[in-house]
Amino acid sequence: MTKAELVALVADKAGLTKKDSEKAVKATFEAITEALVKGEKVQVVGFGSFEAKRRAARTAINPMTGAKVEVKETRVPKFAAGKALKDAVK
C-alpha cells in the first residue's frame, strides 16, 4: 500500500476529504518522527510501538572488495507490533 492509497483509505473510513485525510496522515508521521528524534517511545495500544534504538559500532566487510570497513554507532527506528495487530495478521 502506498501513502496515496493509505490517504484514500483513511478518507473513506473516516468520512474525510482526501485533502484532510492527507493532512492527518502527514501529521501522524511527523509526530512519530519528532518523538523518535527526541528519543521518546511512541506506543499505540493495540497497534504497536515505535522506538529509536542504538546500533553499536562494528567492523563490516565490503563484499565487492573484501576490505574491512568501520561502521559508526548509530540510532535506528524500530517497530514492535502489538498483540492485537499480531492476532489480526495471523
pTM for this entry: 0.81
The string of pLDDT tens digits covering residues 10-37 is 999 999 999 999 999 999 999 999 999 9
CATH number of 41-90: 4.10.520.10
* pLDDT band, residue 67 (cuts 50/70/90): very high
- C-alpha 26/C-alpha 28 separation (Å) is 5
List the chain domain ranges: 1-40, 41-90
Residues 29-43 as b/e (b if ≥16 CB within 10 A, e otherwise) read: eeebeeebeeeeebe
- C-alpha 75/C-alpha 36 separation (Å) is 10
54: Cβ contacts below 8 Å, ≥ 6 apart: 73, 74, 75
